[in-house]
Chains A and B, each alone.
Chain A
Amino acid sequence: MVISQLSVNVDYVRLQPDPFLNELTSMFERTTEKGSVWVTLKHSSNKSKVQRNKMKTAGEKVEYRCLIRATDGKKTISTLVGPKDHQRFQSSYATILKARMTALKKRERKDKRKATDSSDKKQVPKKRSSAAKKISN
Chain B
Amino acid sequence: MVYIAAWDDFVEKSVQLFRADPEKTRYAMKYRHCDGKLVLKVTDDKEVKLLWFLISYQCIKFKTDQAQDAKKMEKFNNIFFTLMARGPEGFFF
A-to-B contact residues, CB < 8 Å: 28, 31-44, 63-67, 81-83, 86-87, 89-90, 93-94, 97-98, 100-107
Contact = CB atoms under 8 A, between A and B. Distances in A.
With most chain B CB atoms within 10 A of its CB, the pick from A43, A81, A83 is: A43
Contacts of B83: 43
A86 B84 CA distance: 9
**Interface residues of chain A: helix, strand, loop or mixed (majority):** mixed
A101 B82 contact: no
Contacts of B29: 38-40
Given A43-B25, A104-B67, A63 B31 contact: no
A28 B85 contact: no
B61 interface: no
B30 interface: yes
Nearest to B27: A41
Contacts of A103: 33-36
A105 to B, nearest CB: 5
A104 B84 contact: no
Contact of A101 (B22, B31, B77, B78): B31
B20 to A, nearest CB: 12
Interface in B30-64: 30-36, 38, 64
A103 B82 CA distance: 28
A123 B52 CA distance: 71
A63 B87 CA distance: 7
The 10 A-B pairs with the shortest beta carbon distances in the complex, nearest first, are A103-B36, A86-B85, A66-B84, A64-B87, A66-B85, A104-B67, A36-B32, A43-B84, A40-B28, A42-B26
Given A103-B36, A105-B36, A41 B81 contact: yes
Contact of A83 (B22, B65, B73, B87): B87
Interface string B1-22: 0000000000000000010001
